[in-house]
Amino acid sequence: QVKELVLDNCRSDDGKIVGLSSDFENLEFLSMININLLSVSNLPKLNKLRKLELSDNRISGGLEVLAERTPNLTHLNLSGNKIKDINTLEPLKKLPNLHSLDLFNCEVTMLINYRESVFTLLPQLTYLDGFDADDQEAPDSDPEADGDGLEDEYENGEDDLDEEVIDDEEDEDDDLEGEEEEDGVDDEEEDEEEDGEDDEEEEADDDLPRGEKRKRNLEDEGEEDPEDEEDDEDD
């Protein structure tokens, strides 16, 4: 039931595929990057295989095996191999579903009119080396691989934090304003109470006889009543 198999950086036996049998008939993705592969002649029949990675090997031909044993292939990566001539790619014409072919770092890419020649030879191709015939780049099949989703989440998280900080500051300002208002009310009440006490004292003085009122004022000022002084002299 294995659908994906990665054998990158393993070493092939005398440049051939060993141990891969028809038991892997459900494979849809197979990667054999940098395994010193010279030939794909030992590749088993894999009818469900869609993507085949063979980059950084030493394959120079024999691609007719792919047409025979991987008939439903859609993506083929042969980057970094020993492919020198356009004619070497001719067997790939028998792969009707092949939409993407990569030949980076192969000598064939140095030929004049390389791209035009390959698109003419393989009309079923949509993308060659990541670009279509109009030099439009192939869309990324996995946008999350670039980390866009994480940057958005991180940005949204920052926005949320900023809003929370602003809300907290507003709440603190409201609390401070409330305390100032309460202090103001207390001060006014204290002033009113003091004024009330002074008024009561003045009203009490008004009720006293004139002589008593004068005497009380003198006592408050620390002076003696002249009449008391005269009494003292008579004595």
Residue ranges of domains in the chain: 4-128
Cβ(121)–Cβ(91) under 8 Å?
no
Cβ(92)–Cβ(67) under 8 Å?
yes
Of 226, 199, 207, 203, which is closest to residue 215 (Cα–Cα)?
226
Measured CA distances, 71 to 25, 41, 116, 128 (Å): 13, 15, 24, 19
First to last CA, the chain: 136
Region 15-34 average pLDDT = 87
Q: Which CATH class is domain 4-128?
A: alpha beta
Question: Tokens in use for 77?
Answer: 């990566």
pLDDT in tens, 108-155: 999 999 999 999 999 999 999 999 999 999 887 543 333 444 444 444
φ, ψ of residue 6 in degrees (nearest 5): -120, 120
Of 56, 65, 64, 103, which is closest to residue 84 (Cα–Cα)?
103
Total-model pTM: 0.60
